[in-house]
Amino acid sequence: MIALNLPRVPVPDAIAVQIGSQLPPRVLEAERKAATAAYSFGLARGPRYEESRQWLLADIAAANKVLAAFHPRLVVRLGGAA
C-alpha cells in the first residue's frame, strides 16, 4: 500500500457556503460554537483561567454531542478546530 501525504487545500468561501446550506441549522450552530470554544480554549492559559477552561470544555462537549449525532466525523477536537 502506498501512503500519500497530500497537502491540505483551503475550501473557497462559496463552496463552504454551499456545503453549509446542506446541513441543518442546529448542526451549523453547534459547529460554530465548538470551533469558537476550541479557539478560545487556546487563549485561556494560566491558572487564573481554570474556570473559563472548564466552561469552554463544557461548551465543546455539548456541541460535539450534536455534531456526533449528525455525523461522527464532525466532532471538534482541541488543536484541530481551525
Q: Domain map of the chain by residue range? A: 24-74
Q: What is the pLDDT of residue 2?
A: 65
- pLDDT tens-digit series, residues 16-69: 888 888 989 999 999 999 989 989 998 988 899 999 999 999 999 999 999 999
Rounded to whole angstroms, the Cα distance separating 23 from 47 reads 38
What pLDDT sits at residue 82? 45
pTM: predicted TM-score of the whole model, two decimal places: 0.72
Burial code of 34-71, b = ≥16 C-beta within 10 A, e = fewer? Answer: bebbbebbeeeeeeeeeeeeeebeebbeebbebbeeee
pLDDT at residue 74, rounded to an integer: 84
Phi, psi of 25 (to 5 degrees): -60, -35
pLDDT by residue (tens digit) across 70-82? Answer: 998 888 877 654 4
How far apart CA 78 and CA 44 sit, in angstroms, is 13
